[in-house]
Amino acid sequence: MEGNSELTVDLQAITHNVGVLRSLCRPEVRFCAVLKADGYGLGAEHVAPAIAAAGGSMLAVFSVEEAMALLDQDLPILILMPVHAKHVPDRLMESIRSGSLHFVVHEANQMKSMAALGNRLGVRIPVHLKADTGLHRGGCEPRDAIVLARAIDRSTDLDLAGLMTHFANAASSESATANQMRQIRSVHDLICEDCTAAPVVHASGTCGVLRGADYHGDMIRVGLGWSGYLTPSATELVSRLPVPLRPAVTWRSRIVLVRTIAAGDTVGYGGRWCAERTSRVGVIPVGYADGYPQDGGHPADGGPGLAVGVMPRRGMDPIDAPIIGRVSMDQVLVDLTDAQGVDVGSPVELISASPGSACGLDNLARRLQRPPHAILVQIHARVPRIHSDSVSLKSSNGGIDGMPSLAQASAVAG
């Protein structure tokens, strides 16, 4: 392994996850993959081809800057934020002319701005009208959506390609989600009565997909699910999957130093963790500057908090080693007292893709009470991303300590 840690993204797992979620839908329902924040920090330009290979129909990003990174992909791109014409760079004009770039309309002034851009380019820009049915994070009131839809339908510069909303609590509230779906369906019915357009209806994210066909509309917008995870609040929905999703992320490092300390010695800033016996302490060269959760050593920074998986020898299962003391900028300390066979150079999994692992991202999310993607997007860009086809910690033939080298990773990623 070159560097202090590596983040491996399993593209086969992503393809599997898209297939599983699509299998819950009618064949005609389209699949839009949300790749905000560089695909939740996993590398959107590498993830997108795996999405397409699994039958994806569209990519969604938040901003024009994120869209520019995906212009070479074969799928159309939907920009979710309210974009005004003056903020659209020249580099995107060709994609707009070709119809491969779609925009979300949130309100009247923004709609007029995009219509002016379409008029200037001599094209009808595809737009998706967002109705706010309860999240109150963008979009317009449902009654205003009908008025805007009529204006878009009459426009020679815009094409009403979609009608969308965003569920506020699909993970844990069936009633709230059903109410939002009724609202967007009602808006759609009125639009179809008054307009020539027949926009694609989309509302469901991952949890909405698991809620059932009543919520799928004509397209689903899946974010977290394609990476193989659900939010901690979605536990009740796991049983609705026909087969499990496959975690797509493994974050690996290694032990670089082992110290033996006496009973009564303390560890880390503030001395919050105190050894109750003679203990072996391992140092991992990763910290909050790399994006490892700063509160990983809680409670009260004394630990034991989260755990990592350390592997004694190649071919053996990882051993859980608890984090002790406060997470530092570049270092994490772990208790190796009961981890027999672990020493300097032993591989470490900070995030494991193995089902049931104590350092699986789903488990970290539960322990920290935050969504898995909130953890992923914090992993710093200085951590190399490796895009591979199911590289395993146990079976890898290359790299130091069973880890793939960067050269191998580049060859896999193309």
Percent of the chain with pLDDT over 70: 92
Among 40-54, 238-252, 296-310, which stretch is predicted with the lowest mean pLDDT?
A: 296-310
pLDDT tier, 390 (very low <50, low <70, confident <90, very high otherwise)? low
- Specify the 3-state DSSP secondary structure of 333: strand
What average pLDDT does the segment 331-351 reach? Answer: 96
H or E segment to which residue 133 belongs: none
> How far, in Å, CA of 112 to CA of 395, rounded?
57
Q: Is the dihedral of CA 373, 54, 350, 287 positive or negative?
A: negative
Residue with the two structure tokens 């014409």: 85
Mean per-residue pLDDT of the chain: 91
pLDDT tier, 217 (very low <50, low <70, confident <90, very high otherwise)? very high
Of 125, 361, 408, 399, nearest to 253 by C-alpha is: 399
* Residue 315 confidence (pLDDT) above 90: no
**What's the pLDDT score for residue 164?**
98
User: What is the homologous superfamily of the domain 249-383 according to CATH?
Assistant: Lyase, Ornithine Decarboxylase; Chain A, domain 1 (2.40.37.10)
Of 141, 153, 96, nearest to 122 by C-alpha is: 96
> How far, in Å, CA of 215 to CA of 145, rounded?
20
**What's the pLDDT score for residue 13?**
97
Cβ(293)–Cβ(378) under 8 Å? yes
* Residue 303 confidence (pLDDT) above 90: no
What average pLDDT does the segment 141-163 reach? Answer: 97
DSSP code of 318? P
Q: What is the largest CA-CA distance in the chain?
A: 79
Percent of the chain with pLDDT over 90: 84
CATH 2.40.37.10-classified regions of the chain: 249-383
Instruction: From the candidates 112, 215, 269, 394, give the one annotated as an active-site residue.
Output: 269
What average pLDDT does the segment 244-273 reach? Answer: 96
What average pLDDT does the segment 92-114 reach? Answer: 98
Q: Is 36 a catalytic residue?
A: yes
pLDDT tens digits for range 126-138: 999 999 999 999 9
* Residue 334 confidence (pLDDT) above 50: yes
* Residue 304 confidence (pLDDT) above 60: no
What average pLDDT does the segment 252-269 reach? Answer: 96
What average pLDDT does the segment 352-370 reach? Answer: 92
**What's the pLDDT score for residue 299?**
60
Chain CA centroid to CA 67, Å: 16
pLDDT tens digits for range 29-84: 999 999 999 999 999 999 999 999 999 999 999 999 999 999 999 999 999 999 99
Q: Which residue has the higher pLDDT, 387 or 298?
A: 387
pLDDT tier, 2 (very low <50, low <70, confident <90, very high otherwise)? confident
Cβ(287)–Cβ(327) under 8 Å? yes
Instruction: From the candidates 36, 40, 215, 292, give the one annotated as an active-site residue.
Output: 36
What average pLDDT does the segment 139-147 reach? Answer: 97
Q: What is the layout of strands, in order, in the sheet containing 279-284? A: 257-261, 279-284, 332-335
Long-range contacts of 270-274 (CB under 8 A, 24+ apart): 270/301, 270/326, 272/297, 272/300, 272/301, 272/302, 272/303, 272/325, 272/326, 273/297, 273/301, 273/302, 273/303, 273/324, 273/325, 274/302
Domain 11-234 fold is TIM Barrel (3.20.20)
CATH 3.20.20.10-classified regions of the chain: 11-234
Q: Which residue has the higher pLDDT, 153 or 235?
A: 153
Q: What are the residues facing 374 on neighbouring strands?
A: none
- DSSP H helices, 35-127, are 36-40, 44-53, 64-68, 93-98, 108-121
**What's the pLDDT score for residue 154?**
96
Cβ(261)–Cβ(277) under 8 Å? no
**What's the pLDDT score for residue 116?**
98
